[in-house]
Amino acid sequence: MSLLLALTLLAPSHLHACAQAVNSGELMDVVKEEAIIVWDPQTETEHFIRKAAFAGAQKDFGFLVPTPTRPTLSETDDAVFAQAAEAARPTRIPIPYSAWWAVIGRGFDYFMAMVSGGAASMGSDDGGVELVETKTVADLEAAILKADDHSALVDWLKEHQYQSRPALAEWLRYYTEHGWYITAFKISPIANTLAETKAVRLSFKTPQPFFPYREPADQRDVNRGGRLLNLYVIAPGKARASLGTRRWHGTVEYSAPLRRRIDGIDVPEQAWLTAFSDRSEPRPGIDEVFINTERWSLPVNVVMYDPVAVLMPLELIPLAALAVVLYRRRKRKAG
């Protein structure tokens, strides 16, 4: 029971992959969120890996993550996100352009050094709620819960000192009515105003992969500042995403066959890596973001053109003009 008491401060906050558990009006801001979805259609298994950075004044807080079936929880090395980002890095092509530059003093020496290549770079059942499992993972205390009635789940949260409010209760209603599991995570007390979670993996069965995007209505606040979600999908084929049956405004930044290993991830056969970014504000968290895949599709590889200045000293103009004049005079004399 001590672990349950330690999980007591969960109330909704400003999360989009879940609902935060803090007092109403004291929501934490999600500074950045990253997630990786690994989908194996052969076993209908999704591995959902997530980490986030929060800012706010809460000393203790947590978040709730819904899944359609019982999840298995494990810790994952944070390096998987850097490796996924590196694999999805845009192709960069330098584009040279001329830039006239007035050379003063030792500037001409610098120019000559640059020409010769020497320059520097410029740039248990409890009142209708089943406590399925408790576990400490990635420095988070977790409780997997199952309930058929959202009111019973809200009461359980209150009894265990979780803060609740109408928007969170309504958010829970959908998942209890559809028989989903709720995993409650508690973040350790924060010394400062910024907390960053370690990468946590939830593995579960589902007929269709998804990102848990739905959130309580009071978390959709346009005045809370921008949020960034980087979502990487590893699946057999190019990934497409939709907000329920609606269009999702996440941007496809990259999509191509995955040609490098990502440590700690069992990649399905013929896997593609698709990278999405979402900067929606306010966040339209009215449904989950569902993933579909296409085996026959063209890759998306963003190409970034980097302008590179080729410095041309102004002092060379009169020298070049003089050289042309002398050349023409010599040519006339020779003729």
Q: How many domains does the chain have?
A: 1
Secondary structure (3-state) at 227: coil
Whole-angstrom distance, CA of residue 203 vs CA of residue 201 = 6
Whole-angstrom distance, CA of residue 187 vs CA of residue 137 = 11
- DSSP summary character for residue 60: S
Whole-number pLDDT of residue 14: 36
Tens-digit pLDDT string for the chain (335 aa) = 333 333 334 433 333 345 555 444 455 566 779 999 999 999 999 999 999 877 665 555 678 999 999 999 999 999 999 999 999 987 666 666 555 555 444 444 433 434 333 333 333 666 689 999 999 998 888 899 999 999 999 888 788 766 778 899 999 999 999 999 999 888 755 544 456 788 999 999 999 999 999 999 887 664 455 678 999 999 999 999 999 999 999 999 999 999 888 988 988 888 999 999 998 888 889 999 999 998 777 788 766 565 666 666 666 667 777 777 777 777 777 76
Whole-number pLDDT of residue 53: 76
Whole-angstrom distance, CA of residue 213 vs CA of residue 30 = 13
Residue 275, phi then psi, degrees to nearest 5: -110, 130
Whole-number pLDDT of residue 34: 95
Range of the domain at 155: 2-334
How many residues are there in the chain? 335
Q: Among positive and negative, which fits the CA dihedral 147, 152, 157, 159? A: negative
Whole-number pLDDT of residue 120: 39
Whole-angstrom distance, CA of residue 254 vs CA of residue 87 = 9
Whole-number pLDDT of residue 260: 85
User: Is the peptide bond prior to 318 cis by the omega test (within 30 degrees of 0)?
Assistant: no
Residue 200, phi then psi, degrees to nearest 5: -120, 140
- Picking from 265, 212, 206, the residue whose alpha carbon sits closest to that of residue 241 is 212
Whole-number pLDDT of residue 58: 57
